[in-house]
C-alpha cells in the first residue's frame, strides 16, 4: 500500500469537481497528480481544499502543473474553499495572484 493513501483522500464530488482531505506532501502529491491528470485537460477542474490540513512544495508543484496544463488547453483549474494552511502557503509564495481561486 502506498503510504500516501493513508494521509490523503481524493473524492469526486461531481464531473470535474474533486475534494481533497488530509495532507499534501511528497508522499501524497503523486496520488493527486495521477488521479486528476486522468481528467481531460481541455475541461475545467475544480478542487475543494477545505479539509487539507497541510501542504508543502510538492503539493504546490502539483497544483501549478494542473493549472498550467489546463491553461494550455484553454480551461481552468479552480481552487475552492481553501483551508487556512493552504491559503497561507499560497499567499507566502505569491500564487494567489496566478491561480484561479473561487471566493
Residue 7: predicted pLDDT: 86
Residue 101 CA to residue 103 CA, distance in Å, equals 6
Please report the pLDDT score of residue 1 as a whole number.
46
- The position carrying cell 464531473 is 15
Output the pLDDT for position 41: 86
Can you tell me the distance from the alpha carbon of 14 to that of 61, in angstroms, rounded to the nearest whole number?
24
Q: What is the CATH number of domain 3-101?
A: 3.30.750.24
Radius of gyration of the chain (CA): 12
The CA-atom distances, in angstroms, between 40 and each of 51, 66, 73 are: 25, 11, 9
pLDDT averaged per 10 residues, the chain (length 103): 70 94 95 90 94 95 94 95 94 92 86
Q: In this predicted structure, what is the pLDDT of residue 93? A: 93
**For the chain, which residues make up each domain, given as ranges?**
3-101
Amino acid at each position: 500500500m502506498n503510504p500516501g493513501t493513508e494521509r490523503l483522500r481524493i473524492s469526486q464530488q461531481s464531473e470535474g469537481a474533486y475534494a481533497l482531505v488530509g495532507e499534501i506532501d511528497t508522499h501524497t502529491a503523486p496520488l493527486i497528480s495521477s488521479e486528476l491528470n486522468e481528467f481531460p485537460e481541455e475541461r475545467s477542474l475544480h478542487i475543494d481544499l477545505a479539509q487539507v490540513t497541510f501542504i508543502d512544495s510538492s503539493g504546490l508543484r502539483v497544483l501549478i502543473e494542473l493549472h498550467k496544463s489546463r491553461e494550455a488547453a484553454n480551461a481552468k483549474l479552480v481552487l475552492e474553499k481553501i483551508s487556512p494552511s493552504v491559503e497561507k502557503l499560497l499567499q507566502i509564495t505569491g500564487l494567489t495572484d496566478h491561480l484561479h481561486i473561487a471566493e
